[in-house]
Structure 1
Amino acid sequence: MNTTDAAHAVAHDYPHGGTDALALRMGLSSGALLRNKVVLNRGPENRNHLTLAEAVRMTELADDDRILEAWARERGKALVQIPEAENCSDGAVLELVAESWQSHGEIGKAINETFADGIVERHEVKRIRDAIWTHLSKLFGLSNRIEGMVEK
């Protein structure tokens, strides 16, 4: 998903009333204006553009990181949820270890399915890449969780 698709999805998936309610909370004049700012097939006649400040505000209000995640991925980066120290129990670390093992298995599964027919297709490469990003995020999250356990 690219940033344009992500912005469209975040605006339209806003769980508390859709684009009309989100636009109001963002201080925009109407839901129609917000829809024009996040339209997927922008023509040259559409002069409404989502600003960076609006994208940040929309992300915060919707509590939805898809724009941020899409941008990070486009830049070759991975986002990691930084744990708070009070949530760093041994059980939470064990849970993250299990999640990382599971996500590692998903990479292998995606690769096996890709090579099963001897033909590598674009959508299969995307599935492998998505599995790798998920796995890396889990590993970085695990590292940060353990770092959060450091005694001060």
Structure 2
Amino acid sequence: MNITDAAHKTVKDYPGGSEALAVRIGMSAAVLRNKVNPNNNTHHLTLAEASEIMGVTGDDRILHALAAEHGYVLRRTEGSPGGSVVTALLAVAARQGNLAQAVSESLEDGRISQNEASEIGRLCASIQADAADLAQRAHVAARTVA
């Protein structure tokens, strides 16, 4: 999904649509509709407005679409409540094992196919996300000790 479609769907899917959301962000419903209308070239959503919309709606499709457009995958780094640093470390280690196995299996025939490369990329992204979660949990643990 592209950024424009993500913004349009975020506003459209909000309970009450643009009418309800516009009130929450201090904008007229007509202006908001124009800003997220994929067929409108005169009104544009600013980054600050997109951020405010995501904050109010709790819908991060715009953020994910922007990241995907530039080749990134996002994952929230906040650890789940009650999770520990050790649990997060074990998750990273497990993902690394999955990656090693995928690379090993991919190389059995002496070449890496496009599908195998995509799977390796997905596993690398999951390791990065789990490592970010581990770092977040470590920071939380450090704050509770201090």
TM-score by length of 2: 0.62
1:141 is matched with 133
Which structure's residues are more often helix, by fraction?
2
Output the CA distance in 1 between the equivalents of 2:118 and 2:23.
36
> Structure 1's 130 and 26: CA in aligned 2 closer, same or farther, altered over 3 A?
farther
Output the CA distance in 2 between the equivalents of 1:36 and 1:103.
46
Output the CA distance in 1 between the equivalents of 2:100 and 2:76.
19
2:109 is matched with none
Q: CA deviation at 1:69?
A: 3.7
1:5 is matched with 5
Instruction: Describe the superposition over 1:71-122 as per-residue Cα deviations: whole angstroms up to 9, x where unpaired.
Output: 34527585652559xx5x5x4435534654369748977xx79xxxx8637x
1:58 paired to 2:50: no
Q: CA deviation at 1:19?
A: 3.0
1:17 paired to 2:9: no
SS of corresponding position for 1:20 = helix
- Unpaired runs of 5+ residues, structure 1, are none
**What are the within-5 Å matches in structure 2 for residues 2-151 of structure 1?**
2-14=2-14, 16-30=15-29, 32-40=30-38, 42=39, 46-73=41-68, 74=70, 80-82=76-78, 89=82, 91-97=83-89, 99-100=91-92, 101=94, 105=98, 120=114, 129-150=121-142, 151=145
> Structure 1's 60 and 104: CA in aligned 2 closer, same or farther, altered over 3 A?
farther
Output the CA distance in 1 between the equivalents of 2:97 and 2:60.
23
Instruction: Describe the superposition over 1:45-78 as per-residue Cα deviations: whole angstroms up to 9, x where unpaired.
Output: 6312112221111011012233234434527585
SS of corresponding position for 1:47 = coil
TM-score by length of 1: 0.60
Counting aligned pairs with the same residue, the percent is 33
Output the CA distance in 2 between the equivalents of 1:126 and 1:39.
33
- Unpaired runs of 5+ residues, structure 2, are 107-111
| Structure having the higher Rg | 2
* Cα RMSD after superposing both structures: 4.1
SS of corresponding position for 1:22 = helix
SS of corresponding position for 1:48 = coil
